[in-house]
């Protein structure tokens, strides 16, 4: 399931729902990304821009890709769009598999994808002014790990 939410999301409730009816699963991995204060910069919120249609299709392809790579029983990706306040969850991912390695790796893969390859744009709103956030070099090398494995 893929959801773009304009409203705050509740990771605990999402995980509880995800766990229902998973009798065959031996492993669930989940990830919650939060909007954080950025050092001395008094961050108030992030503004998440996205390209309706393109963004959903792009995430759906990555989800299908993860199912091709790992034997997943179920997955959910919830990503906020619009204004997300400090302390709120900006993204929630959960993956279910028979064994833990598939669940961990698929969750990691999907998160790396969202950071650099999904059509989202983040603007940091802080008291000292607004600025658009570009992925860190580390985000690109994290995503590249999954491509190297294909060689």
Partner 1 sequence: MVRVVFYGKLADLMGRERDATLDLAAETVAAVIRRLAADEAAFAAALASMRVRYAVNDVMAAPETTVKTGDEIAVLPPFSGG
Query: From residue 101 to residue 130, what is the string marking binding to partner 1 with x (rule CB under 8 A)?
Result: ----------x--xxxxxxxxxx-------
Instruction: Answer yes or no whether residue 18 interacts with partner 1 by CB under 8 A.
Output: no
Instruction: For 70-117, give the DSSP string.
Output: S-EEEEEEEEE-EEEETTSEEEEEEEEESSHHHHHHHHHHHHHHHHHT
- The binder of partner 1 chosen from 63, 90, 96, 102 (CB under 8 A): 90
E strand or H helix at 132: strand 129-133
Instruction: Answer yes or no whether residue 13 interacts with partner 1 by CB under 8 A.
Output: no
d(CA 24, CA 57): 29
d(CA 36, CA 38): 6
Instruction: Answer yes or no whether residue 8 interacts with partner 1 by CB under 8 A.
Output: no
Instruction: Answer yes or no whether residue 91 interacts with partner 1 by CB under 8 A.
Output: yes
Return residues touching partner 1 (CB under 8 A). Answer: 33, 48-51, 53-54, 57, 79, 90-91, 111, 114-123, 132-135
């Amino acid at each position: 399931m893929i959801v773009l939410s304009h409203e705050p999301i509740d990771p605990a409730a999402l995980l509880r729902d995800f766990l229902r009816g998973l009798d065959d699963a031996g492993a669930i991995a989940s990830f919650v990304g939060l909007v954080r204060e950025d050092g001395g910069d008094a961050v108030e919120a992030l503004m998440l821009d996205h390209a309706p249609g393109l963004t959903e299709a792009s995430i759906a392809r990555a989800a299908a890709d993860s199912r091709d790579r790992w034997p997943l029983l179920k997955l959910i990706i919830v990503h906020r769009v619009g204004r997300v306040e400090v302390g709120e969850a900006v993204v929630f991912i959960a993956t279910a598999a028979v064994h833990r390695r598939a669940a961990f790796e698929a969750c990691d893969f999907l998160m790396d994808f969202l950071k650099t390859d999904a059509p989202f744009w983040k603007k940091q709103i802080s008291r000292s002014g607004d600025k658009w956030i570009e992925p860190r070099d580390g985000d690109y090398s994290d995503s590249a790990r999954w491509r190297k494995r294909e060689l």
